Structure 1
Amino acid sequence: MDPINRRSANTLSIVSTLLDSALAFRRGRRKSGLLLLAAAALSSRVPGLGTAVSLFLRLVRRLR
């Protein structure tokens, strides 16, 4: 089994952000879903962006 390298970690981050986006759409949170979808698309250029946006949205929801 190969160790996790930077490329596979970035791919995992993108997939995780896409799943968060799908769950947001399913729960009726269109704005969050669109923001997460855009972050997932940009994550290939800016590694970690999707994870940062996902954490930010969870923090905002928690503080409401």
Structure 2
Amino acid sequence: MANLKSKSMNKLSIVSTLVDAAMAFARGRKKSGLLLVGAAALSSRVPGLGTAVSLFLRLVRRLR
């Protein structure tokens, strides 16, 4: 049961990162979008990477 929950949470994280990437592309932030797509692709091997990159980009934008 825990393994199933972990896998579904990882998939949710990947989907969330891809949605953030789509929003970045829609707003004209090509570099952020590409970074998020790459992080989503790597999230299957490194759980949580996509979420971490998404949070990092939001933090950088807020501090600008």
Q: Give how far 1:45 is off.
A: 0.2
- Please identify runs of 4+ aligned residues in structure 1 that moved more than 4 A: none
Q: Which residue of 2 aligns with 1:43?
A: 43
TM-score of the superposition, structure 1-length normalised? 0.94
TM-score of the superposition, structure 2-length normalised? 0.94
- Structure 1: 5+ residue runs without aligned partners? none
Number of matched pairs: 63
Q: Which residue of 1 aligns with 2:16?
A: 16
1:23, 1:51 → 2: CA distance?
15
- Structure 2: 5+ residue runs without aligned partners? none
Higher helix share: 2
Once the two structures are aligned, what percentage of the paired residues are identical? 76
